[in-house]
Amino acid sequence: MTVDTVGRFERALEGLDVELERVSAADATERIETIVEEPAVGAPLPFEGVSLPDDVTTGPTTAELEAARTGVTPVGFAIAEYGTVAIESTADGAEPISLYPDRHVAVVAESDVVPDLSAGFTRLADGFDAGRESVVFATGRSATADMGDLVHGVHGPGTVRVIVLEDR
Amino acid sequence: MAQRTRSQQADRIRHLLETEGDAIHAQTSASNARRGDVYDVTDDLEALRTDARAIKEDAIDDLPELIETVREAVEANGGTVYVADDAADANAYVADVVEQNGSTDAADEPSVVKSKSMTTEEIDLNDALEADGIDVTETDLGEWVLQVADDTPSHIVGPAMHLSRAEIADLFNERFDPDEPFETAEELTRFARDHLGEIITDADVGITGANFVVADSGTITLVTNEGNARKCAVTPDTHVAIAGVEKLIPTLSDLEPFVDLIAKSATGQPISQYVTMLTPPTDSPTLEFDSPDEPITAGGGGGAAGPIGDPDREFHLVLLDNGRMDMREDDQLRETLYCIRCGACSNSCANFQSVGGHGFGGETYSGGIATGWEAGVHGQDSAAEFNDLCTGCTNCVDACPVKIDIPWINTVVRDRVNRSDEPEAYDFLVDGLTPDAESGGLDPGKRFFGNIGTVAKAASATAPVSNWLADAGPVRAALERTLGIDRRRDLPTFRRESLVDWFEKRGGFAASSRRAAQADSRDDGADVDREVVCYPDVYTNYVDTERGKAAVRALEALGVPVRVPDLPESGRAALSQGMIATADRQASRVYAALAEDLDAGRDVVVIEPSDLAAMHREYERLLPESSYERLREGSYEICEYVYGLLENGADPSALSTGDGAEPVAYHSHCQQRTLDLEAQTVAVLERCGYAPVTSDAECCGMAGSFGYKREYYELSMDVGERLAGQLEGADTVVASGTSCGDQLETLLERDVPHPIELLAPGRYRA
Ligand code: SF4
C-alpha cells in the first residue's frame, strides 16, 4: 500500500517537474549533500539518525537566508494524489527556508506520505489538535503566467526536490 | 445614472474587441478548457460541489455566530479582529495599524506590501493608504503590472490578462529603463522577483486577503501560485488580513472541498501551488532584514516553540461588511455570498471571452457574478452598466463550483434596474402595443423584446405586409432609434400561417392520431402508447414553422399522435429582459393551459431549448413546487423525446436516415447543454445514420434579443465567428436553437435547419 502511495506521489511530482528520490536514513545525509547547491540553509531534520550535511547552515541569519541558493526542510507529511508537501511554520524557520531560496529540498518519511487530500486533511486536523496550526500545502514550483508566459520561480522556489526516507 | 448611450456603448465594445479581445480570449478560453478537462476527470466533482455549496449555505446562515467564534479564536491566539462596516471604516483601521507599525524614523514613509485581494480593490485601500502617506506595493505580478500601468483589473483571477507580454515589456522598459530592454516573460519575471523581493524584505506591514477563514481556529487560508502571499504574511512582523465576512467557514474540515475545488475551477489546475493555512501569529520567526547578521531563530534556538507563536508578531483580521449583511437578508442576492471568486463563470462566458472584464465589469468585480457583487457592495447603478452583457446562456451554471444560479441573479438585478429607471418618452407607444405586468419606466427595447409573443402574433396576422414594412429603410431606422435593433441584422420573417393554424388545417389531433396509427401498423417493433402536446413557442409558431411541422411529422412517423394547441408564451422573452412579473404571470398561464394534458399523462415536447430551459430551470422560482415538478417531469426536448422513443423500440427507418457516413455539424444550444441534452441529439443522429460532429465554442453569440441590439452587434458577430469557424467545413449544419440557427445562417450564408428537419420523413433538402 505504502509503496503504491509513494509511486503515486512520484508520478504526481513528475507531472510538476519535481524529482523524487527514495533513500534510506543511513544514506540520507550524503544524498542531500549531493543535491544541495551552496550556499544552503536548512531547518533541523527531526528523523532519528538523519542529520543535515555540515555545510547546510541551520539557524541562518537573514543575510544567509537571502543569499542561500538551497533551503532544506523536513515536511510534516505529503499528499500523493497531488504531489503536495505540507510545510509547517516552525520556530526553526522551515517556512521562510522553504520559500526564499530558489531550490527547496523537502525531506519526508515514507510513512508520512498519505494517499489523497482527505487523508491529508486528517493529518492536518491531527496537527491542529497538537497545536501545529500553520501549514502550507506546497505543490510543485512557484509559478506565474502574469508576464505573458508560464515562468517558474517567481516569489518562491523555481526547483523543488523531494527525498522520501524509505525506512521511516 | 450616467448610462452610456447606445452608440457610446457600441464604440466602447468595438474598442475593447480590438485592444484587449485577443489577449483575453487566449487566456480565458484556455483556462476554461483546462477547467472542463479537470472537472471531467474529477470523480466526485458533483459531491464536492454539493458539499461546498451546503457549507456556504450554512455558514452564511450562521454568520453572526461565526464572527463571534472567530473573534474569540483570533484573540486567544493574540491577534485582533475588527469588523468594518464599510470601505472608509476598513481603510481608516488599516491606516492606523500601519502608522503604528511604521518605522520610528519620521522621515521614512511607512511601507506596505500587498498580496492580491479583490476585497481591498473593492474598498480602494491603496488609494486610501497612499493619501495617508503610506507606500503600497502590490506583489502579485499581475496586480503589480496594473499598479505600474495605473490600470484596473480585468479579471478576478488574472487581473492583467488583457495585457500581452509585449505590452508589459514596453511598459517596463519605459518605466524602469533597464540596461538591456526586457523581452521575454522570463526576463520580466526575474526583474519583478528581484525588485519586489527587496520591497518585501523592507516592508513594515504585510497585507493579504483571505480565500477562506476557519472560524473556530482563526485560520486564514491563502491560495496562490506565486508564493507572494506567503512572503507578505510572514516576512513583516505585522500581518493584516482583509476579508469579506462571507469568507468565514466553521471548522477546518469544511475547508477540504474548497481546497479541492478552487484551483480546478479557477485555472484548471488540480490544486494550486500554495495553499497556505495560517493561524497567526505563527511560530515562524520574524525576519529582520535590516539586521542581516542576526540569526532568524534568535532566542528560539531552533527548539520547539510554545503555543502562542513568535511574540514579536502582530496580527489583525479585518472582516468587511460593506453591504454583505444586507445581501444576506436579500433572498435573491444571498447566493452571491457563496461565491469563492474563482472566475470560472467569467472564463466560461462567451461574451466575457471577447471583451473581458473592462467591458463586462462594474467598479471592482467583473464577469458573470459581478452583477450580484456590485449590486450588493456598490449598489445597483454599478451593476446596471454591464448587466446587459449577460445573455442568460447558462454556460456559467455548470462552471460554478458552488452552484450559484448566476443567470438568475442577473435576471433579478435586471428586473430591479428596470424598475428604478426613469420613465421613457416612448412608453405610451410601446405600452399600447404590448401589455405586460411590468410597472412603467421600462426601456422600450426591453419591453418590445419581453413581449415578443404579442409582437409576433400581430406581425403574423399582417404578414407579408409586416415583413415588407419591417425591411423598409425608414422603419429600420425607427426600430434602431426607438428599440435599439441594429439595422444590419436580418429580422425574422413572420409567416402568415402559424404552426397552430397549419396543424388545425390538416385535421388537428384526429388526423394526427390516424397518421400515427398507420405508422404504428406498418412498424412491427415499437409499441409506444404515448401522446404528445407539441409546445408552439413564439418562433416555431410564427417564424420557423418548418421545424414545428418537421417535429409533428417525425413524431407521427414514430407512432405518436400529436396535439398543437395554441399555448401561452413561456416567459422566456420576458425573463431575458428582466421582466420577472411578466414571466411569472406567463409561467402560471402555461401551467394552467397544460395541467389537464399532464394529468391525462400526455408528454409535453418543446422544440426551442430556451423555452424548455425556462420550464426546467426558472419555473422553479415562479411556480408552486409541485406544479414545477409536474411540468418538469412531463416535458422533453424534441430530440431527447425521439431518443426515448428509439430507445423504447421505435424504428429509426421511419425517419429520414443517412448512409452512416454523412457528416453533420451540430451546434447544440447553451441552455440545452446546461440541461445535459446535447448527447441525445447526437445519439439520435447517429442512430439515424449520420456522422455528427459537435462544436465546442461556448455560444453562438446571439441569445435571443441580445444580438439584435445595436450596441452588441459587433460582439455578437465576434462570438458567432468562433462558432462558425468550427462548423463551416461540414456539408450539412444543424442547430437546435432558433437564434443559433439565425446567427449561423447569417455567418455561413446557407440554411441551418433544426436537427428534426433533417430527420423528419420526406427529409429536408438544403
Ligand atoms: S460565481 Fe461561482 S464561478 Fe463565478 S467566481 Fe463565484 S464561485 Fe467562481
Lowest mean pLDDT among A46-55, B341-350, B442-451: B442-451
Residue B31 contacts A where some CB pair is shorter than 8 Å: no
> What is the complex's ipTM, to 2 decimals?
0.97
Question: Which of B378-392, B625-639, B725-739 has maximum average pLDDT?
Answer: B625-639
pLDDT of residue B698: 80
What's the rounded mean pLDDT across residues B731-744? 90
Assess whether the C-beta atom of B280 lies below 6 angstroms from ligand 1. no
Coil, helix or strand for B445? helix
- The count of structural domains within chain A is 1
Whether the pLDDT of residue B692 is over 60: the answer is yes
pLDDT band at residue B298 under the 50/70/90 scheme: low
Local confidence band at B453 (pLDDT 50, 70, 90 cut-offs)? confident
A94 contacts on B by Cβ (under 8 Å): 284
Strand, coil or helix: what is B286?
coil
- Going from the Cα of B193 to the center of ligand 1, the distance in angstroms, rounded, reads 30
* A-B C-beta contacts closer than 8 Å: 197
pLDDT per residue as tens digits for the range B367-419: 889 999 999 999 888 888 777 888 889 999 999 999 999 999 999 998 888 87
Q: Return residues 277-336 of B near A (CB < 8 Å).
A: 277-280, 282-285, 287-289, 291-297, 300-305, 307, 310
Which residues contact residue B493 at a Cβ distance below 8 angstroms, ignoring those fewer than 6 apart?
B463, B467, B543
For A133, the closest chain B residue by CA position comes to B279
Instruction: Give me the pLDDT at residue B433, please.
Output: 46
SS (H, E, C) B551-600: HHHHHHHCCCCEECCCCCCCCHHHHHCCCHHHHHHHHHHHHHHHHHHHHC
Ligand 1 atom at shortest distance from the alpha carbon of B156: 5
Min Cα distance B411 → chain A (Å) is 34
DSSP string covering B11-63: HHHHHHHHHTHHHHHHHHHHHHHHHHHHHHT-TTHHHHHHHHHHHHHHHHHTH
Give the Å distances, CA to CA, from B119 to B208, B247, B319, B528, B709: 10, 11, 10, 58, 34
- Domain residue limits at A114: 3-165
Residue-wise pLDDT for A44-79, tens only, equals: 999 998 999 999 999 999 999 999 999 999 999 999
> Any long-range contacts for B327-331 (C-beta under 8 Å, 24+ apart)?
B327/B372, B327/B376, B328/B60, B328/B63, B330/B376
Banded model confidence at residue B299, pLDDT cuts 50, 70, 90: very low
Res A3 pLDDT > 80: no
Compute φ and ψ for A148, nearest 5 degrees: 100, -5
- Band of pLDDT at residue A40, cut at 50, 70 and 90: very high
Nearest CA to ligand 1 atom 3: B400
Ligand 1 touching residue B406 (CB < 6 A):
yes
Ligand 1 neighbourhood includes B369 CB (under 6 angstroms):
yes
- B430 falls in which pLDDT band (50, 70, 90)? very low
* pLDDT of B425: 36
- Give the separation between CA B200 and CA B202, rounded to whole angstroms: 5
Interface of B with A in 231-250 (CB under 8 A): 231, 234-235
> Looking at residue B301, what is its pLDDT?
39
B276 neighbors B248 (Cβ within 8 angstroms):
no
Return the higher-pLDDT residue of B639 and B695.
B639
Asked if residues A158 and A152 have their Cβ atoms less than 8 Å apart, the reply is yes
pLDDT level of residue B441 (50, 70, 90 thresholds):
low
pLDDT value for B307: 40
Residue B593: Cβ within 10 Å count? 15
Q: Say whether pLDDT at B554 is over 90.
A: yes
C-alpha to C-alpha distance for B305 and B282, rounded to whole angstroms? 10
What is the Cβ-side half-sphere exposure of residue B602, based on CA atoms within 13 angstroms? 22
Best of A62, A99, A102, A160 to mutate (most B CBs within 10 Å, chain B): A62
Which of helix, strand or coil describes residue B277? strand
Strand partners, B316: B80, B240
- Residue B399 Cα to ligand 1 midpoint, Å, equals 8
* Confidence grade of residue B309 (pLDDT, cut at 50, 70, 90): low
In chain B, positions 50-109, which contact chain A (CB-CB < 8 Å)? none
Look at residue B348 in the predicted model and tell me its pLDDT.
95
Provide the H-helix boundaries in B208-291: 228-234, 255-267
Distance CA B25, CA B719 (A): 10
**What average pLDDT does range A86-113 have in this prediction?**
94
Which ligand 1 atom is at minimum distance from the Cα of B338?
Answer: 7
Confirm if B658 and B557 have CB atoms less than 8 A apart.
no
pTM as predicted: 0.91
- CB of B402 closer than 6 angstroms to any ligand 1 atom: yes
Query: What three-state secondary structure class fits B275?
Result: strand
Average pLDDT of the segment spanning B746-766? 85
| Residue B155 binned pLDDT confidence (cut-offs 50, 70, 90) | very high
Nearest residue (CA) to ligand 1, atom 2:
B400
Q: What is the pLDDT of residue B524?
A: 57
Could you tell me if B279 and B217 are in contact, meaning their C-beta atoms sit under 8 angstroms apart? yes
| DSSP classification of residue A114 | E
Q: How far is CA B549 from CA B182, B467, B522, in A?
A: 64, 22, 22
How would residue B431 be classed by pLDDT, with cut points 50, 70 and 90?
very low
Question: Residue B55 to residues B257, B324, B577, B704: CA-CA distances in angstroms?
Answer: 9, 18, 33, 36
Q: Stretch B76-86: mean pLDDT, rounded?
A: 95
pLDDT of B432 > 60? The answer is no
Going from the C-alpha of B29 to that of each of B26, B128, B351, B395, the distances in angstroms are 6, 35, 11, 13
Q: How far apart are CA B366 and CA B358, in angstroms?
A: 8
* Averaged pLDDT for residues B623-652: 95
Query: Is B278 close to A89, i.e. CB distance below 8 A?
Result: yes
Cβ of B285 less than 6 Å from ligand 1: no
Count CB atoms within 10 A of the CB of residue B77.
20
Mean pLDDT estimate for chain B = 88
Each residue of B130-152: pLDDT tens digit? 999 999 999 999 999 999 999 99
B245 lines ligand 1 (CB under 6 A): no
Task: Identify the pLDDT of residue A12.
Answer: 96
Confidence tier at B523 by pLDDT (50, 70, 90): low
- What does the block give as the cell for B322? 460593506
Residue B434's pLDDT is 46
Contacts of A40 (CB under 8 A, 6+ apart): A53, A55, A56, A57, A68, A69, A70, A71, A72, A101
Smallest Cα–Cα separation from B342: which of B427, B434, B406, B433? Answer: B406
How far, in Å, CA of B262 to CA of B344, rounded? Answer: 10
Ligand 1 neighbourhood includes B232 CB (under 6 angstroms): no
- CATH assignment at residue A150: 3.40.50.10420
For atom 6 of ligand 1, the residue with the nearest CA is: B339
* Amino acid B246: pLDDT: 98
Domains, chain B, ordered by start:
49-286+309-322 (3.40.50.10420), 499-759 (no CATH)
Mean pLDDT of B601-622: 96
CA distance B62 to B54: 12
